[in-house]
A and B are shown apart, each in its own frame.
Chain A
Amino acid sequence: MADLQDDPHTATAAVGPGSLGVEDVPAPATARGSLERAATLLSVHPVADGCNTLVWTLRQSPYHDIDTPDAGVDTDIPRLRAGGVGAQFWSLLTPREAAAPDQVVSDTLEQIDVALTLMRRYPDSLGLALTADDLADARNRGRIASFLGPVPGRTLTDSLGALRAFHALGVRIVAPAGAPWAEDGLTAFGHEVIKEMNRLSMLVDLTGCPTVAACQLAGASKAPVIISNTAAAALNPHPGNVTDEVLLALRAAGGLAMVTFDTARTGDSLHAVADHVDHVRAVAGPAGVGLGAAFGSEPGRPRPAGLTDPSGYPRLIAELLDRGWSEADLSLLTWGNAQRVLRDAEFTARAAQRRRTA
């Protein structure tokens, strides 16, 4: 499979969007040289992060102004910039109990509305991204490319019309976990959903799917699938973590597992997170590992030390440099793999559209 990521730029400028504020960060465990190299690397290959739940948090308490440092929530634009974030998948999932059973579609439309309002409110920092080209374009313009999704698969009952409406509104990722058509094996309608997602170039996010369902979905999708936030079950058998079996399926299918920064799933230190990243790379391959921290909550959620908000990415990259990761592999981890998956999905869609119509 062709790797379509942009040619790596020659890293000459040490100052970029990702280097802001990094010097102020105390990093006793890591050599200053590594942190500088991490910042340089991120200025060229910023983080394309797979999961942030800020939209839901803002719906609960819309009073945060993320344009300035905001202590009431872990995500704001200064810290995204400091962390070298160049692209963000904004999760539109809501807690299952939040909406009445017959309000899930409306609830998702509310989430989309809040996300679009967020884009409009901070146009100089966030740019709605619909394609892999938008991803590169936003980086070049100094904006954080913002992808909408995932939306919950359970919003799709017997309706591809709703799926196409979500797509028309800008959504690019759907998470089948918990959907009646994916829960106990993919139903005929479930196959139809996946085909239509392939046709529309929407990514399948396997987060939360049990191993059997995840492997089945990865096999059914013609385009690479992602797991937008997870960690290795081999290191920590948390139910939200991905098994090696699924990681191998991802490796075979060109998919991407994005590692979360969540004490419950990864352990409570930066080193523990790095261990998970190492393990996912070892099993899924360098082309199958990414980052999906799942920030976007209010204070109180346990986070690994050193990775408590989005400004922490450079420290993780420095740690991986110290562990001997090549810059090529790191550029895949932060940016290249996400870009490739988006491009592959678009390629699949173009091919599918010649065969299938709505």
Chain B
Amino acid sequence: MSAARRLGEARELLAEHPVVDGHNDLPWALRKQVRYDLDRRDIAGDQSAYLHTDIPRLRAGGVGAQFWSVYVAAELTGDEAVSATLEQMDAVDQLIARYPGDLVRALTADDMEAARADGRIASLMGAEGGHSINNSLATLRALHRLGVRYMTLTHNYTIDWADSATDEPRHGGLTEFGREVVREMNRVGMLVDLSHVAATTMRDALAVSAAPVIFSHSSSLAICDHPRNIPDDVLELLPVNGGVAMATFVPKFILPAAVAWTQAADENLRAHGLHHLDTGPEAMALHRAFEAEHPRPVATAATVADHLDHMREVAGVDHIGIGGDYDGTAFTPAGLDDVSGYPNLIAELLERGWSKPDLAKLTWSNAVRALRDAEAVAREQAASRGPSNAVPADTA
């Protein structure tokens, strides 16, 4: 089968079973680049000079549902984190209101299916890091009321109640309050996202959660040894839990050679006084200069496929998905350069012999099922438990 024909088949498949992407940082990019001045980044047209994401490319990529990350910098704490999260959510509201022919708000699995039937991109929100709720379960509920459907328990830093994968552990996983956060998320119907958290936190959360968890953008630790990835023993827990691990495309997490290169590149950014996750114009210029001197190892669709092959092997085909992290990463794999690239990944998997039913689970139905199951757990729990107002032990 020719490459062109495989790509055609991939597009056909995506037309019916579009991609549910677990993580896209467009809101943060809009905040950093233009302070949400949506006139200056009109995503109805080509924004490839500034962004990985715009509507024409989402359409070309076969995206049918997007969890828009309402990430706020992990350096923010207290009210600043909460306010910034509210602003991020407000920006998503504005995007949905501004492009009603292409984006539609989705709060439930039914909404996702309705959007697919309607030919619009279901727009969900995910908060990235427990710092966004400022140790307040009422704030968690407010986020849920305002439309947030998953929360990543931590971002890059360990917080008061959960250890991060990329910071010093302080709790050995989740604290007692952390477990209560997971229970409250189950009760209101917000998916627990275990990307970014320490493996100990993953195991603690899986032990507590009555609902499926997700990894909104994490790949396999066995394929690439980076703390942002998922160990096999955790992947093995997903069939019982019902959760979904959504493979990410970030080269520095998925390609061993890129892990080493990135350490050097991050050091370069920090030496210029910038945060190593900055994707602003200045940071990009520095990155380009560094890259001119040090050729960057290039990930490809095959790199992502290697992870998905392994994750399917260990977690099973019902427990994998896709979470590109576009606009949240400076670099992307060749062929998956922006949100129009998903068909190339599907073509690669077709080449590797993945069946169409399996691919439909990967792209669409696993993620929808996880949200639907979380809704069912919430209905069941809300009938027997009231809202929790627990606070972290040291502030009680």
Q: Spell out A's residues near B (CB within 8 Å).
A: 100-106, 109-110, 112-114, 117, 155, 157, 159-162, 164-165, 168-169, 358
Please judge, given known A-B contacts A106-B82, A358-B94, whether A161 and B142 are in contact too, CB under 8 Å: no
Interface check B217, CB cutoff 8 A? no
* A169 with B145, Cβ < 8 A, contacts A109-B82, A117-B387, A164-B93 known: yes
B interface, CB within 8 angstroms of A: 77-80, 82-84, 86-91, 93-94, 97, 133-136, 138-139, 141-142, 145-146, 387
* Complex Cα gap A166–B277 (Å): 30
Decide if B134 touches A162 in the complex (CB within 8 Å).
Answer: no
* Residues in B whose Cβ lies below 8 Å from that of A160: 87, 90
Query: Could you list some 27 contacts between A and B, CB below 8 A?
Result: A100-B78, A101-B79, A102-B78, A104-B79, A105-B79, A105-B83, A105-B139, A106-B133, A106-B135, A106-B139, A109-B82, A110-B136, A112-B138, A155-B79, A157-B83, A159-B86, A161-B83, A161-B87, A161-B89, A162-B83, A162-B87, A164-B86, A164-B90, A169-B142, A169-B145, A358-B90, A358-B93
A105-B82 in contact given A110-B136, A117-B387, A165-B146 (Cβ < 8 Å): yes
Partner of B138, one of A106, A161, A358: A106
Contact B97 A358 (CB under 8 A): yes
**Which 4 A-B residue pairings sit nearest by Cβ, starting from the closest?**
A102-B78, A161-B87, A113-B138, A161-B90
Which of A103, A109, A117 is packed against the most chain B CB atoms within 10 Å? A109
* B134 with A161: CB separation less than 8 A: no
Give the Cβ gap from B139 to chain A, nearest Cβ, in Å.
5
How many Å lie between the Cα of A169 and that of B88 in the bound state? 16
Q: Across the interface, which residues of B come within 8 angstroms of A155, CB to CB?
A: 79, 83
Residues of chain A contacted by B83 (CB below 8 angstroms): 105, 155, 157, 159, 161-162
The answer to whether A113 and B88 have CB atoms under 8 Å apart is no
SS of A interface (majority): helix
Kindly name the residue among B84, B88, B89, B145 whose own CB sees the greatest number of chain A CB atoms within 10 A: B145
Q: Which residues of B contact A165 (CB under 8 A)?
A: 86, 89-90, 142, 146
List, in ascending order, chain A residues with CB within 8 A of B133's CB. 106
* Closest CB in chain B relative to A149 CB, distance in Å: 15
Distance (Å) between the CB of B44 and the closest chain A CB? 15
B43 to chain A, nearest CB (A): 16
Query: CB distance B87 to A106 under 8 Å?
Result: no
Other CB < 8 Å A-B pairs besides A157-B79, A161-B88, A162-B87, 7 of them? A102-B79, A105-B82, A105-B83, A106-B138, A110-B139, A117-B387, A160-B87
CB distance from A170 to the nearest CB of B (A): 9
Q: How close is A76's CB to chain B, nearest CB, in angstroms? A: 20
Closest to A62 in B: B389
What separation, in Å, do the CA atoms of A162 and B143 have in the docked complex? 11
Bound CA span A105–B139, Å: 9
- Taken together as a complex, chains A and B put the C-alpha atoms of A161 and B387 apart, in Å, by 25
CA distance A110 to B82 in the complex (A): 12
Q: Specify which of B77, B78, B94, B138 is in contact with A109 (CB 8 Å cutoff).
A: B138
Nearest chain B CB to A66 CB, angstrom units: 16
* A329 CA / B77 CA spacing, docked (Å): 51
B68 vs chain A, min Cβ distance (A): 14
A100-B138 Cα distance, complex, nearest whole Å: 16
User: In whole Å, how far is B268's beta carbon from the nearest beta carbon of chain A?
Assistant: 32
Which residues of A lie under 8 Å from residue B86 when comparing CB positions? 105, 159, 161-162, 164-165
Chain B contacts of A169 at CB under 8 A? 142, 145-146
Taking the closest CB of chain B, its distance from the CB of A160, in whole angstroms, is 8
| Chain B residues with CB under 8 A of A101 | 79
Most chain B CB within a 10 A radius of its CB, from A104, A106, A117? A106
Quote the shortest CB–CB distance from A357 to chain B (angstroms): 8
Q: In whole Å, how far is B132's beta carbon from the nearest beta carbon of chain A?
A: 10
Contact of A103 among B88, B94, B134 (CB under 8 A): B134
Q: How far is the CB of A189 from chain B (nearest CB, A)?
A: 13
B97 and A159 form a contact (CB under 8 A): no
Contact, CB under 8 Å: A103 / B90 = no
Contact B79 A113 (CB under 8 A): no
In this complex, what residue of A is CB-closest to B387?
A117
CA distance A110 to B78 in the complex (A): 14
CA separation between A164 and B201, bound complex, in Å?
34
Min C-beta distance of B373 to chain A, whole Å = 25
Q: Measured between alpha carbons, how far is A358 from B90 in the docked complex, in Å? A: 9
Give A103 to B83 CA distance when docked, in angstroms.
10
- Cβ distance B91 to chain A, nearest Cβ, rounded Å: 7
Nearest chain B CB to A105's CB is how many angstroms away? Answer: 4
The residue in chain B whose Cβ has the minimal distance to the Cβ of A159 is B83
Closest to A114 in B: B138
CB distance A109 to B142 under 8 Å?
yes
| List of A residues within 8 angstroms of B138 by Cβ | 106, 109-110, 112-114
CB distance from A107 to the nearest CB of B (A): 8
- A62 CB to closest chain B CB (Å) equals 8
Residue of A nearest to B145 (CB): A169
Chain B neighbourhood of A103, CB < 8 A = 78-79, 134
User: Is the beta-carbon distance between B87 and A113 smaller than 8 angstroms?
Assistant: no
In angstroms, Cα B89 to Cα A100, docked, is 24
Q: Tell me, in angstroms, the Cα distance from A103 to B134 when the chains sit together.
A: 8
In the assembled complex, the Cα of A310 lies from the Cα of B110 at a distance in Å of 45
The minimal Cβ–Cβ distance linking A137 to chain B, given in whole angstroms, is 22
Q: Which residue of B lies closest to A121 (CB)?
A: B386
Chain A residues near B77 (CB-CB < 8 A): 102
Q: How far is the CA of A351 from the CA of B32 in the complex (A)?
A: 32
Contacts of A100 in B (CB 8 A): 78
Q: Are A113 and B146 in contact (CB under 8 A)?
A: no
Chain B contacts for A117, CB-based, 8 A: 387
In the complex, A157 Cα to B90 Cα: how many Å?
Answer: 16
Give the CA-CA distance A312 to B268 in the complex, in Å: 71
Q: Which residues of A contact B87 (CB under 8 A)?
A: 159-162
A102 vs B80: C-alpha distance in the bound complex, in angstroms? 7
Question: A158's closest neighbor in chain B, by CB?
Answer: B83
Q: Which of A157, A159, A162, A165 lies at the interface centre, i.e. has the most chain B CB atoms within 10 A of its CB?
A: A165
Let me know if A161 and B78 touch, CB within 8 A: no
Which residues does chain A contribute within 8 Å of B89, judged by CB atoms? 161, 165
The chain A residue with its CB closest to the CB of B136 is A106
- Minimum CB–CB distance from B125 to chain A (whole Å) comes to 12
The answer for the CA separation of A152 and B105 in the assembled complex, in Å, is 30
Cross-chain contact A113 with B142 (CB below 8 angstroms): yes
**Nearest CB of A to B77, in Å:** 7
Given contacts A103-B79, A106-B82, contact A113 B90 (CB under 8 A): no
Residues of B within 8 A of A104 (CB): 79
**How distant is the Cα of A155 from the Cα of B83 in the complex, in angstroms?**
9
A335 to chain B, nearest CB (A): 30
Contact (A168, B146) CB under 8 Å given A103-B79, A161-B87, A161-B89: yes
